């Protein structure tokens, strides 16, 4: 086993590897304006977005698709027209959604899938748009009914931003194609800014801007003429017991094993894996070892707050795998904001993706393992017994100490926004569930996971193709079918991870218990975890990592016009919490980037290889 230590400097010229797109509704009274929105928008693509622009005239819409020179084997991008109807889809698919004859030809495979999307929309059963096996986004337009349908996968892996101010309508998977577009009117959504400062992200569909919203994972957006309806699609659960615990665990093992066999048949090359000591990544190891799938582990030296490096190194030694370690990285803070497409510029996972891209084209990630296996507050935090308990508990968890009282006292200018009421109202939409955790999963999917977990993936995908087995359709279904007892104990997760016998002597939690032993006593361990949480982390207080604020100061000096105007009458702004202060600085820098900086020094001039608008103008 060899250990390779890396220091990474992120260059702003990242190799294109994923599709970018911008769809603009044409204005028959001012067609030049629509074209200007499109031409300005395609100049704002950056990082790993494609650089080869194809521009289509689609009657009511104009569409720009930016693709890279090469597309990974797991990635598909497809666009099709049939008379005046059209459909588009892009994403990463864990099994081929096309006939075997098209697997080698990515363009034909993409167009085949786009045709499937169009047929689904014509059939009047849009729920099927959420049931493809992958991470994706897309849209379809039906001319006869003047209906545009926009969708992403049921975990919201790929972003879609919608710009709508009654006069102009556009969508893109790049917020900067809209928010930093000089041809579009943009204003700040103060409710969202208040939510970011207390919760670290806007709630539900909100963005920092009044004119721009996000499609959340449970949404199917249907726009008929100018009228918009959100059709909801929620993950389905069946917790009724049908067999023994061991039978459930064996069934889950079979599903995960099948996933890895099919995955390796598709990629035919070593898989990367972002490793931690936790079960969400280690559960992949027995299947790769058993099936002799070559893989390359990557880990942070420090900086993630989970103290994993020494344990991952030991795991790699036991498995005799060379280990690539990210010791440090540097990136222009503006580029970090752009790739994040949010007010949180943390870039550790993007840097790990940059490192991994030099050795593998994929990276296995344990995202969504917490939701699937039961590692959520409703089971781990003591005192949560009712729906109201859960709502209060999750709110306190995501604020990270910026309580309602601290927020109210520190920033009185936002007291007109009732964030708590807005937050609790979200739960009214979710369907009734047998277990609290299932309601929690509905909420987490559309909010915390969508805003905090998914961006980990979004940062990494600028450099390689992330693979998230817990998002696989069959694996997700198997976890959602586990009975309450297995979810409450998280026993299935532990037992399966521990079947990798070479390294199961290494712990998977902060407690000094081997994974092998944990798999046998997991229900008892959960009681210890609850006791620890009830007593303010009493047993692990020595492991608490100190929060590192963005600036070593206790006061706020704004740069953006928004915050300068907001605090124009205040000589000194001293919020009562370090996390709140850091959120203020991050939000201020992000707004300054949008409204005052020139982002195009980080953008790539598109190479227009096909342009139907140009042909129309000549005619």
- Rounded to an integer, what distance in angstroms lies between the CA atom of residue 262 and that of residue 293? 11
Band of the pLDDT at 530, cuts 50, 70, 90?
Answer: low
Do 64 and 90 lie in one domain? The reply is yes
CATH of the domain at 184: 3.60.20.10
- Mean pLDDT for the chain overall: 91
- Rounded to an integer, what distance in angstroms lies between the CA atom of residue 520 and that of residue 491? 8
Indicate whether 422 belongs to any domain: no
Indicate whether 414 belongs to any domain: no
Do 113 and 161 lie in one domain? The reply is yes
Q: What is the reported pLDDT for 376?
A: 79
Q: What is the reported pLDDT for 191?
A: 97
User: Is the Cβ–Cβ distance between 594 and 193 less than 8 Å?
Assistant: no
User: Is the Cβ–Cβ distance between 48 and 461 less than 8 Å?
Assistant: yes
User: Is the Cβ–Cβ distance between 498 and 504 less than 8 Å?
Assistant: yes
Q: What is the reported pLDDT for 129?
A: 97
**Looking at residues 478-485, what average pLDDT do you find?**
94
Indicate whether 184 belongs to any domain: yes
Indicate whether 276 belongs to any domain: no
Indicate whether 467 belongs to any domain: no
Dmax over Cα atoms in the chain, in whole Å?
Answer: 76
Q: What is the reported pLDDT for 303?
A: 55
Which CA distances in Å does 256 have to 112, 326, 397?
Answer: 27, 29, 31
More confident residue, 201 or 489: 201
553-575 pLDDT, tens digit each = 789 999 999 999 999 988 778 89
Indicate whether 571 belongs to any domain: yes
Q: How many residues does the chain have?
A: 619
Q: What is the reported pLDDT for 490?
A: 86
Do 567 and 611 lie in one domain? The reply is no
Indicate whether 331 belongs to any domain: no
**Looking at residues 585-602, what average pLDDT do you find?**
96
Tally of CB atoms within 10 A around 290? 14
- The residue range of the domain holding 586 is 561-595
Q: What is the reported pLDDT for 442?
A: 95
Indicate whether 485 belongs to any domain: no
**Looking at residues 514-525, what average pLDDT do you find?**
88
Strand ranges in 375-453 using DSSP code E only, listed in sequence order? none
- Rounded to an integer, what distance in angstroms lies between the CA atom of residue 612 and that of residue 547? 53
The pair of structure tokens assigned to 387 is: 């729906």
Q: How many domains does the chain have?
A: 2
Backbone φ, ψ for residue 45 (5° rounding): -95, 145
Do 576 and 612 lie in one domain? The reply is no
Residue 520 has pLDDT above 70, yes or no: yes
Pairing mode of beta strands 147-152, 219-224: antiparallel
Q: What is the reported pLDDT for 305?
A: 46
- Rounded to an integer, what distance in angstroms lies between the CA atom of residue 28 and that of residue 111? 29
Estimate to the nearest angstrom the gap between the alpha carbon of 525 and the chain centroid: 30
Do 56 and 40 lie in one domain? The reply is yes
Which CA distances in Å does 599 have to 35, 148, 475?
Answer: 21, 31, 40
275-306 pLDDT, tens digit each = 999 999 999 999 999 999 999 999 998 755 45
Interior angle at CA 318, CA 280 and CA 279, nearest 5: 10
- Rounded to an integer, what distance in angstroms lies between the CA atom of residue 486 and that of residue 463? 37
378-428 pLDDT, tens digit each = 766 667 888 998 999 889 888 989 999 999 999 999 999 999 999 999 999
């Amino acid at each position: 086993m060899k250990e390779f230590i890396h220091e990474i400097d992120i260059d702003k010229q990242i190799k294109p590897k994923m599709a970018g797109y911008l769809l603009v509704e044409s204005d028959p009274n001012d067609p030049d304006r629509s074209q200007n929105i499109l031409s300005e928008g395609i100049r704002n693509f950056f990082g790993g977005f494609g650089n080869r622009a194809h521009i289509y005239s689609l009657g009511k819409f104009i569409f720009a698709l930016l693709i890279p020179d090469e597309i990974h084997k797991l990635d598909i991008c497809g666009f099709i027209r049939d008379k005046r109807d059209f459909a588009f889809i892009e994403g990463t698919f864990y099994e081929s959604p096309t006939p075997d004859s098209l697997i080698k030809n990515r363009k034909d495979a993409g167009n085949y899938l786009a045709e499937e999307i169009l047929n689904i929309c014509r059939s009047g059963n849009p729920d099927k748009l959420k049931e493809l096996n992958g991470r994706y986004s897309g849209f379809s337009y039906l001319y006869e009914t003047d209906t545009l349908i926009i969708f992403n996968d049921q975990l919201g892996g790929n972003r879609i931003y919608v710009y709508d101010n009654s006069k102009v309508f556009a969508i893109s998977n790049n917020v900067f194609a809209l928010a930093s577009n000089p041809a579009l009117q943009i204003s700040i959504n103060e409710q969202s800014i208040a939510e970011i400062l207390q919760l670290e992200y806007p709630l539900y569909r909100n963005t920092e801007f009044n004119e721009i919203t996000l499609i959340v994972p449970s949404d199917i957006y249907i726009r008929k003429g100018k009228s918009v309806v959100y059709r909801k699609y929620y993950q389905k659960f069946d917790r009724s017991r049908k067999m023994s615990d061991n039978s459930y665990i064996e069934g889950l093992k079979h599903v995960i094993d099948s996933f890895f066999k099919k995955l390796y048949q598709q990629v035919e090359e070593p898989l990367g894996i972002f490793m931690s000591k936790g079960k969400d990544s280690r559960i992949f190891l027995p299947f790769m070892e058993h099936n002799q799938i070559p893989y390359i582990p990557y880990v942070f030296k420090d900086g993630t707050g989970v103290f994993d490096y020494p344990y991952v190194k030991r795991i790699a030694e036991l498995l005799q795998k060379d280990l690539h370690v990210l010791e440090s990285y540097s990136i222009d803070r503006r580029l970090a904001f752009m790739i994040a497409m949010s007010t949180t510029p943390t870039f550790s996972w993007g840097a790990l993706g940059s490192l991994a891209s030099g050795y593998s084209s994929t990276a296995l990630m344990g995202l969504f393992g917490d939701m699937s296996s039961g590692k959520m507050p409703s089971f781990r935090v003591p005192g949560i017994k009712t729906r109201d308990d859960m709502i209060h508990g999750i709110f306190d968890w995501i604020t990270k100490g910026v309580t309602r009282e601290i927020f109210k006292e520190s920033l009185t200018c936002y007291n007109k926004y009732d964030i708590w009421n807005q937050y609790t109202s979200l739960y009214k939409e979710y369907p009734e569930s047998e277990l609290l955790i299932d309601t929690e999963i509905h909420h987490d999917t559309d909010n915390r996971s969508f805003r905090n977990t998914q961006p980990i993936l979004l940062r990494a995908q600028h450099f390689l193709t992330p693979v998230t087995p817990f998002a696989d359709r069959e694996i997700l279904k198997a976890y959602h079918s586990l009975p309450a007892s297995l979810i409450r104990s998280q026993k299935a997760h532990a037992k399966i991870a521990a079947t990798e016998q070479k390294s199961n002597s290494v712990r998977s939690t902060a407690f000094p218990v081997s994974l092998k032993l944990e798999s046998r006593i997991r229900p008892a361990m959960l009681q210890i975890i609850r006791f620890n949480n009830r007593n303010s982390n009493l047993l692990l207080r020595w492991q608490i990592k100190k929060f590192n604020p963005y600036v070593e100061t206790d006061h706020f000096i704004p740069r953006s016009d928004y915050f300068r105007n907001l605090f124009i009458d205040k000589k000194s702004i001293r919020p009562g919490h370090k996390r709140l202060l850091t959120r203020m600085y991050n939000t201020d820098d992000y707004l300054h980037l949008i409204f005052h900086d020139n982002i195009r020094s980080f953008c790539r001039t598109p190479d227009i290889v096909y342009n139907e608008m140009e042909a129309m103008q000549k005619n």
